[in-house]
Amino acid sequence: MENRVFELVTDSFFKILIPGITVTVPLTVLSFALALIIACSMALVQFFDIKIFKQAARLYIWIIRGTPLLVQLFIVFYGLPKVGLLIDPFPAAVLVFSVNEGAYCAETIRAALESVPKGQMEAGLCLGMNRMQTVRKVIFPQALRTAFPTLANSLIAMVKDTSLAANITVTEMFMAAQRIVARTYEPLILYIEVGFIYLMFCTVLTEVQSLGEKRLGEKMI
């Protein structure tokens, strides 16, 4: 029995890890990069108080944060084909994860921008910079130090959330584990193993987060 368990774990490890490296990691990186672009746009619209766009941003954030990620995945992948819009599994997952995470990161960045003393904007304007230049050169670097830990936590959470992409047939590492379970009937061992691999990925990101916070702290001294 022990030999069978050992063989199963060693045989399945790379069968789960490889989809993690080739699918889960790219899915996370692409989605989070797009999410940051969306988040910065939504945060700046609110920070500059652009009325019409601010209302649109608040509506977007309200809808996305108020509905489950799994429901959003199902709407895009299974629902949109009903109106003639068919999206392949991986692009659909990237779209949904980036839009979903963008809403949460937008609030993080907005709060960080608003936490910078208002005098910093006035100082930048007095030096001859316009509002956008002041935000980019003066306010945003200070806001980044505040937002970085929360954004890093969001990235770590996204690594784990990508397991939901298995529900729309994306062959990431959780689906790889499910397929092995269906063949071997060993759910306990294999789900612990895939959980361990997720833990490995998140531990690496946690170390990167610590290094990033240290670097940002040194720059502020």
Choose among 140, 153, 136, 124: nearest CA to 216.
Answer: 140
The model carries a pTM of 0.92
Q: Domain boundaries in the chain?
A: 2-220
* pLDDT for the residue 125: 81
CA Rg value for the chain: 21
Q: Which two tokens stand for residue 32?
A: 């989070």
3-state secondary structure of 220: helix
* pLDDT for the residue 221: 55
User: Domain 2-220: which CATH class?
Assistant: mainly alpha
CB 130 within 8 A of CB 48: no
The one-digit pLDDT tens for each residue of the chain (221 residues) are 567 888 889 999 999 999 999 999 999 999 999 999 999 999 999 998 888 899 999 999 999 999 999 999 999 999 999 999 999 999 999 999 999 999 999 999 999 999 998 888 888 888 888 888 888 888 988 999 999 999 999 999 999 999 999 999 999 999 999 999 999 999 999 999 999 999 999 999 999 999 998 888 776 65
